[in-house]
């Protein structure tokens, strides 16, 4: 069974600072990697995906994937108070049909202090 672990559990960064969130997974066949964000009282919303080794940048957000080391990370540049939320890493090993399981980590709680 896929195991997805996130660190740190919680993180405090100053407004304008850089936040770095980490995620490790156990299944070397994993193919699809997502970051989700959940604000208090709401359902999670997808932030970005990364499917290939290397970096992917979307605005202030950069995801990094290293399949060999079973590691994916999210870096938030110029953090804003509105970025304060619970961040989840989600991993899927297989594609389609009955294999379409998406496993989430326990999340990292990010607080951006102004």
Partner 1 sequence: EAAVTQSPRSKVAVTGGKVTLSCHQTNNHDYMYWYRQDTGHGLRLIHYSYVADSTEKGDIPDGYKASRPSQENFSLILELASLSQTAVYFCASTRDNNERLFFGHGTKLSVL
Question: Could you list the residues that contact partner 1 (CB under 8 A)?
Answer: 1, 6, 31-32, 34, 36, 42-46, 49, 51, 88, 90, 92, 94-107
Which is nearer to partner 1, 12 or 100 (by Cβ)?
A: 100
Shortest reach from residue 14's CB to partner 1, in Å: 26
Kindly report the number of other CB atoms within 10 A of residue 70's CB atom: 17
Neighbouring CB atoms inside 10 A of 37's CB total: 21
The residue whose two tokens read 């970005």 is 48
78: left (phi over 0), alpha (psi -120 to 50) or beta: left
Closest contact distance (angstroms) between CB of 41 and partner 1 is 8
CB of 77 to partner 1, least distance (A): 22
Please say which residue, 19 or 44, places its beta carbon nearer to partner 1.
Answer: 44
Contact by Cβ (8 Å): 92, 31: yes
Q: How far is the CB of 13 from partner 1 (least distance, A)?
A: 21
User: Strands 10-14 and 108-113: what pairing?
Assistant: parallel
How many other CB atoms sit within 10 Å of the CB of residue 8? 12
CB nearer to partner 1: pick between 43 and 114 = 43
Q: Closer to partner 1 at the Cβ: 73 or 92?
A: 92
């Amino acid at each position: 069974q896929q195991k997805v672990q996130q660190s740190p559990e919680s993180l405090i960064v100053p407004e304008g600072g850089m936040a770095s969130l980490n995620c490790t997974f156990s299944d070397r066949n994993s193919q699809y990697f997502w970051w989700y964000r959940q604000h208090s009282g709401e359902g999670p919303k997808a932030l970005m995906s990364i499917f290939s080794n290397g970096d992917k940048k979307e605005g202030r957000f950069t995801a990094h994937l290293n399949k060999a080391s079973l590691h994916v990370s999210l870096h938030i540049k110029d953090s804003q108070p509105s970025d304060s939320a619970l961040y989840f890493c989600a991993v899927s090993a297989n594609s389609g049909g009955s294999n379409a399981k998406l496993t989430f980590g326990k999340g990292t709680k990010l607080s951006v202090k102004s």
